[in-house]
Chains A and B, each alone.
Chain A
Amino acid sequence: MTGFNGARALWATLAAHGVGTVFGYPGGAIMPVYDALTFHPEVRHILARHEQGAIHAAEGWAKATGQLGVVLATSGPGATNLVTGLADAMMDSIPLLAITGNVAQHLIGTDAFQEADITGITLPVTKHNYVVRSADALPGIIAEAIFIARSGRPGPVLVDIPKDVQLAAFGGMIPDPHARPAPLAPRADAVERALEVLRAARKPVLMVGGGSQDASADITALARAWQIPTITTLMGLGAFPASDPLWLGMPGMHGSVAANRAISEADVLLGIGLRFDDRVTGRVNGFAPNARIIHVDIDAAEIGKIVTAHLPVRGDAALTARALMDGATPLLSHEWRAQIEDWKGRNTPPRAWGAAYGVKAITDRLAPDDILSTDVGQHQMLAAQLARFEKPRRWLTSGGLGTMGFGFPAAIGAALTQPDVRSVVIAGDGGFQMTAQEFATLTKYDVRNVKIAIINNSFLGMVRQWQELFHERRYSEVYLGDSNPDFLKLADAYGIRGYRASNADELPGAIDAWLADPRSSLLEVVVPNEHGVFPMVPAGAALHEMIETEPQRQQEGATK
């Protein structure tokens, strides 16, 4: 039996911090940790088929629960395969702990086998990172890393552990978890000025971002008390119930007509927990041109980074929303309500058969507790436009980084948090193939609640849409139809059953069979390839320059 070494101390520390599930992939420089795992059955390890699958699964776990996701990888190539996931978690503020093995300390810096300077490489895409120099220091560093990952604006932290540190005898203490800091309350004078601005508003809009997922109840109460029309960004979907008449949809490049028009017309824009991504703002100097902007964020560096806030408020989303309830009286004027209702009526319903039709049919079948994850591209924007989220933490998508291959492993991670909740993936045929090997993870652990839908249009659809609109239809290297696998056979190879629909008549039956399958299963929706996602704000345009409906298409030559 192994003596109690650094590797054992790592597992003991993780267990002491309540980490019950770790995603990972073994390799040479992390072997002592995997060896020690056999002595620590209190932690469940989920073996992915690629480190990228492991880290996206950890992200899915974290996004669905708000808790820490943990991923383990070896040195060099194992560690570098985490970089995409780390950048993704950084952009979308996901609390994540990545633990990598490294070569022994005397080999670090010598270009030893499977050595990479992973702390150097991940410097810009982590909230913080560490190299552990001694076994005794390891538990303290892990405790601090977990604290950093979860506090303030959450993010990824990487801890790199050389192999000799994993093997060194451990004589230290396993520390108790750090208490999480109390949520930061906004300053009273900032709140008072924000209230003054709100009270004087005639055309107010509330804009809610991903930082508001855990403040959903307070934000909903705030919007209803003041009767402020509310927009949820891509990352904020679910933080405000879609069934509420005040909800205007998503803003930005593929946002709703109502959301984008309301921003362009608003005289006060109250933004909570959002960072004004360029996909949201369009051309910045055309964004909310008439509005006084109140920007609430926990991260001081986000305030004024892109959009100048007339009234910056640094604070926790829930506490600030609660503070802004003070003296709330309904603001919604008859004119503003009528204007909003007019815009809301302008969203185009999905056309006959196509990607939007397929996505709508699937999202219409979602229950409020179902988790929906997506990859990146047309299907993602369609899902964001068409799904109706009533609850927070039900929507997992790669917003900031736009990572293809994210959706499927993220859904697996989410599915493992709540085995009785359906975890539905909508993916495109392109992105799905970036992490398709994670079918094996479903099979290995007999995960039964993942429902995968591939919207197959034989193209990298979003790139194709841009080529169509901005590159005179020169469809350069975006056709996949001649080389896509038979997705049903691919699933079958891993023991996963598949269902297919190629037209509107087949779809309802296929969806029924797909959802009724007692195990995780695949639905392939084969759609024509020429449809775009609209409304759309072209890159570099202002929100009011939105193209509301698909331009008239020329009759010939629109397919491959």
Chain B
Amino acid sequence: MTAEHPSQDHLISVLVRDEPRVLTRITELFGRRGYNIKSLSVGATEAPGVSRMTFVVGGSKGIVEQAIRQVEKLHDIIKVIDHGLEKFVDRELVLVKVRITPETRVEVRQIAEDFRARIVDVGRHALTFEATGDEGKITAFIEQMRPFGIIETMRTGRVALTRGSNADIPSHVYHDGQTQALEPQAREQQAREVGNLF
């Protein structure tokens, strides 16, 4: 089943109990099966004791489906959301330190303004910008800055949320959803215990 589908990036969010080693459990699981994690962001959620992670994982559709099902089995996992199955909003934040000279200063600032990037640090030979946006915008911004001389960058990796407009659609639906009943009831039970999330 692996050869049929081309490799592509998959955006997955995981709600987890905020316990030690939870991140290790998930990354170990991905790593063991040879799935490379391209980006990863972790942060607290609105519910106490619940963290949210967003993974970008490369691989075929089948491989990622398998990864999701394996992750869903882990005890500390409350919910896994495959954003490929629904509409979502995603953002990434980047810090870019760009070399400037008296000649380029104005142009660099102008480009940054076009990307709605903010200056967060001003040096004699460098400006540091903060930009947020989807992956494409961030990449485009970095590419625009590259000719001036990028000293260093740090990207956070993508974060994502399901759009409110279709939040009621079950997050975990198979490609042949008709015959599948894999929304694990136990997880919902757990979610209720953790903080009435769903």
Binding site for B on A (CB under 8 A): 119-120, 123-124, 127-128, 131, 148, 151-152, 181, 184, 186-187, 189-190, 193, 299-301, 303-305, 308, 311-314
Contacts and interface: CB of A to CB of B under 8 A. Distances in A.
30 contacts: A120-B21, A120-B24, A123-B21, A123-B24, A124-B28, A124-B29, A128-B74, A128-B75, A131-B20, A148-B75, A152-B186, A181-B186, A184-B185, A186-B181, A187-B180, A187-B181, A190-B180, A300-B72, A300-B182, A300-B184, A301-B66, A301-B69, A301-B72, A301-B73, A304-B65, A305-B66, A308-B1, A311-B179, A312-B174, A314-B180
A299 B186 contact: no
Contacts of B20: 131
B178 interface: yes
B24 A312 contact: no
A184 B189 CA distance: 14
A53 B193 CA distance: 39
Contacts, number: 56
A150 to B, nearest CB: 13
B62 interface: yes
Given A301-B66, A304-B66, A312 B21 contact: no
Contacts of A119: 21
A312 B180 contact: yes
Contacts of A300: 69, 72-73, 182, 184
A186 B182 CA distance: 10
A324 B81 CA distance: 32
Interface string B61-73: 0100110011011
Contacts of B174: 312
A45 B103 CA distance: 82
A311 B62 CA distance: 16
B32 interface: yes
Contacts of B73: 299-301
A124 B21 CA distance: 12
Q: Which of B70, B74, B76 has the most CB of A within 10 A?
A: B70
Q: Which of B1, B20, B74 has the most CB of A within 10 A?
A: B1
B104 to A, nearest CB: 49
B32 A124 contact: yes
B16 to A, nearest CB: 13
A312 B178 CA distance: 11
Contact of A123 (B28, B72, B178, B185): B28
B139 to A, nearest CB: 34
Closest CB pairs A-B (n = 7): A301-B69, A187-B181, A128-B75, A300-B182, A190-B179, A301-B70, A300-B69
Interface string B157-175: 0000000000000000010
B25 interface: yes
Interface in B15-38: 20-21, 24-25, 28-29, 32
A189 B179 contact: yes
Contacts of A190: 179-181
B24 to A, nearest CB: 7
Nearest to A128: B75
A91 to B, nearest CB: 14
B112 to A, nearest CB: 44
Contacts of B185: 184
Contacts of B70: 301
A127 B1 contact: no
Given A123-B28, A301-B70, A314 B1 contact: no
A313 B180 CA distance: 7
A128 B29 CA distance: 13
Nearest to B186: A181
Contacts of B25: 123
Contacts of A314: 180-182
A551 B7 CA distance: 44
A273 to B, nearest CB: 16
Contacts of A304: 1, 62, 65-66
Nearest to A123: B28
